[in-house]
Amino acid sequence: PKSVRNYYEDIVVLAMPAPKMDVRIPQLEVKSSANDLINRDFAPLTANFDEAPADAVISSEQVIDLTSKMDQKGKVDWSPPAGRWLVMRFGHTITGKENHPAPKTGVGLECDKLSKAAAVLHFDNLMKKIIQKNKGLTGKDQPLVGVHIDSWENGAQNWTPKMREEFHKRRGYDMFPFLPVFSGRIVGSKEISERFLWDLRQTVSEMLIENYAGTFRELAHQNGLRLSIEAYGEPADDITYASQADEPMGEFWAWGKYEGDWTCMEMASAGHIYGKPIIGAEAFTSWSSEKWQGYPGNMKDLGDWALCEGINRFVFHRYAAQGFLHVAPGIGMGPFGLHYERTQTWWEQSKAWHEYLARCQSMLQQGKFVADLIYLTPEGTPRNFKAPDETQIAPHIRGGYGFDGCSADIVLNGMSVIDGKIILPSGMSYQALVLPSVETMTPALLSKIKQLADAGALIIGPTTPPIKSPSLTDMGSGDEKLRKTANELWASGHIFTGKTAPEILAERGISPDFESSIPLRWIHRRIGDADIYFVANPYPDKVQTFADFRVKECQPELWHPDNGQMENAVTFEERNNT
């Protein structure tokens, strides 16, 4: 690559018989994690590939390592066999990405996100120094409580000095014979090359999650601090990345409205499945079009929506410190963020609004989320989770069944079955696991899904099973194992197909958790034997509606978060288990 800031390190020099045809892999920068993948949900790998012309293919078995034959000036002392040979010199440089926004004295290069040593070096030279200088501010009931990793704006990365060793440890084969794929050339076949690139992206994801986020969590805990992460936009699996946080965080925008909405659902899912009771959001953020026009009256509906998505801590973006007592509206942060500070014209009248938010968030931080469905995302990275269409009855209004998303990580390492219900170590339980419609899946994941089905779990899936693994590691015998497992599972009658997950639950006599004659926003949590439903009106006017709650044999109470009053519901009836 072209060196950045005069930094370049050699990796290897390889020689191979030169292909007679120049055929390249499309979308290479994205597939090799060399391009900024922010907010990209990468399509699952197909099981069907076009054959490349034989004259365009490099054989991995004919790739020769010439690194030892290159001198310090880059000259290779080697006599090639007869024929045309291609010699490729591979190296790595820095991305050149700097942290932002930051004061001039705080601007510098981003650290290597795939290296644990780099993460430790970064923490020790920034956060640890801040902690040491403010010892009196850490600990119980003190203001310095956590370390925060913001949403990913670091660009892409696909190499680190220990990449070869890490790749071999995780994927089980040497990546060096396949390095010509980094140039877009085809090694072995199109399928082999694409499956190698899938392995590369998966390795980048795992290393980022473990060596960067996981290391920051360890170091934060060692210093008595918690870690929050806005875990999206990075070249990794979002939900698994969020598992490293003590407090996963999403974001939602007030101007333009609902931008970033999907991050709230997937961070709430991560919080639920990994047992993180506090789920935050960069709340009400805005572009310059906001122009001091935000106020509680036009923010409440959006705030209620976020609470119903599972967010239970608002981190306002943003509140600017106002150092001048005689100036209004005062200091801002350029074009970014809601103007939410004491210099707002309505600030002195905002006590009731803040009390409303405090009551709602306090209640929604208690107990556990109640859900019926857990949707498995396709394997591969980058990957995010967005609410499936079948879960919504109107724009930004969910239907009657609560749900979460999950990645392969929790299925493989935490999911079990008790009395027909899917159980997670966090204490969450679900009526059914919903599979994605994909052509590829790793044998290990499908084998675990079959174990769950054999143990009595309700599995809802596509009519067609996966037929190959996406990983080059599994090519051949792994693919055969996958097909055998798939055939057994789909023939067993344990996979329910052909209808949506809500339809299948209804057919099995599982009524919706919440229904109303007019679509309303809602969320359900349970504390012991008590059920909490937060219900919000998304319309500008008052509505009158009939609502069904899937609870019975109890006296319903109405708790009013706008004024703190609590009262027994006077008019209600029990029918059909609701």
DSSP letters for 113-154: TT-HHHHHHHHHTTHHHHHHHTGGGBSTT-SB-EEEE-S--S
**Residue 201 domain-assigned?**
no
d(CA 512, CA 264): 23
Instruction: Choose between 35 and 73: higher pLDDT.
Output: 73
pLDDT of 322 > 90? The answer is yes
The percent of the chain in helix, strand and coil, each rounded to the nearest 5, is: 30, 20, 45
Mean pLDDT of 413-420: 98
**Residue 105 domain-assigned?**
no
Rg, the chain, Cα only: 27
**Residue 324 domain-assigned?**
yes
210 shares a domain with 229 = yes
pLDDT band at 578, cuts 50/70/90? Answer: confident
Query: What is the tally of structural domains in the chain?
Result: 4
Tokens of 513: 């958790």
CB of 521 closer than 8 Å to CB of 538: yes
Mean pLDDT of 73-91: 97
Please identify, among 317, 332, 366, the residue that sits at the C-terminal boundary of a domain: 366
What's the pLDDT score for residue 334?
87
460 shares a domain with 321 = no
Element (H, E) at 191: helix 190-207
d(CA 449, CA 537): 39
Mean pLDDT of 547-562: 95
Q: Which of 487, 445, 494, 433 is nearest to 464 (CA)?
A: 487
pLDDT of 182 > 60? The answer is yes
**Residue 261 domain-assigned?**
yes
How would you classify the pairing of strands 226-230 and 247-255? Answer: parallel
pLDDT of 48 > 80? The answer is yes
d(CA 483, CA 464): 12
CB of 140 closer than 8 Å to CB of 218: no
524 shares a domain with 377 = no
Mean pLDDT of 243-266: 96
DSSP assigned state of 68: G
309 shares a domain with 236 = yes
pLDDT band at 2, cuts 50/70/90? Answer: confident
**Residue 462 domain-assigned?**
yes
Mean pLDDT of 43-70: 96
Sheet architecture: strand order including 64-65: 64-65, 9-17, 85-92
Contacts of 75 (CB under 8 A, 6+ apart): none
411 shares a domain with 383 = yes
Q: Tokens 């430790």 belong to which residue?
A: 120
Mean pLDDT of 89-98: 96
361 shares a domain with 217 = yes
140 shares a domain with 77 = no
**Residue 424 domain-assigned?**
yes
Residue 130 to residues 211, 310, 525, Cα–Cα distance (Å): 22, 32, 38
- Number of alpha carbons in the 13 Å side-chain half-sphere of residue 518: 11
Mean pLDDT of 543-569: 96
Residue 421 three-state SS: strand
d(CA 169, CA 189): 24
**Residue 315 domain-assigned?**
yes
Which percentage of the chain shows pLDDT scores above 70? 99
pLDDT of 577 > 80? The answer is no
d(CA 313, CA 261): 15
239 shares a domain with 123 = yes
The mean of the pLDDT values for the chain is 96
The pLDDT tens digits of the residues spanning 466-517 come to 999 999 999 999 999 999 999 999 999 999 999 999 999 999 999 999 999 9
DSSP letters for 291-341: TT---HHHHHHHHHHHHHHT--EEEES-------TT-SS---BTB-S---S
pLDDT of 396 > 80? The answer is yes
pLDDT of 117 > 60? The answer is yes
pLDDT band at 35, cuts 50/70/90? Answer: confident
- In the chain, what is the straight-line distance between the N-terminal and C-terminal CA atoms, in Å? 64
Q: Is the dihedral of CA 466, 472, 474, 480 positive or negative?
A: positive
d(CA 308, CA 300): 12
What's the pLDDT score for residue 541?
96
Instruction: Choose between 386 and 35: higher pLDDT.
Output: 386
148 shares a domain with 285 = yes
Mean pLDDT of 550-566: 96
Residue 161 to residues 69, 158, 197, 480, 530, Cα–Cα distance (Å): 21, 11, 18, 35, 53
Q: Which domain holds residue 481?
A: 373-508
Which amino acid appears at position 276 of this protein?
Answer: K
330 shares a domain with 253 = yes
pLDDT band at 40, cuts 50/70/90? Answer: low
pLDDT band at 37, cuts 50/70/90? Answer: low
The torsion angles phi and psi of 431, rounded to 5 degrees, stand at -75, -30
461 shares a domain with 543 = no
341 shares a domain with 215 = yes
Please identify, among 366, 397, 420, the residue that sits at the C-terminal boundary of a domain: 366
Mean pLDDT of 117-133: 96
Element (H, E) at 502: helix 501-507
pLDDT band at 41, cuts 50/70/90? Answer: confident
The pLDDT tens digits of the residues spanning 279-304 come to 999 999 999 999 999 999 999 999 99
Element (H, E) at 202: helix 190-207
How would you classify the pairing of strands 146-149 and 226-230? Answer: parallel
d(CA 271, CA 277): 6
**Residue 552 domain-assigned?**
yes
Which amino acid appears at position 139 of this protein?
Answer: G
d(CA 329, CA 10): 54
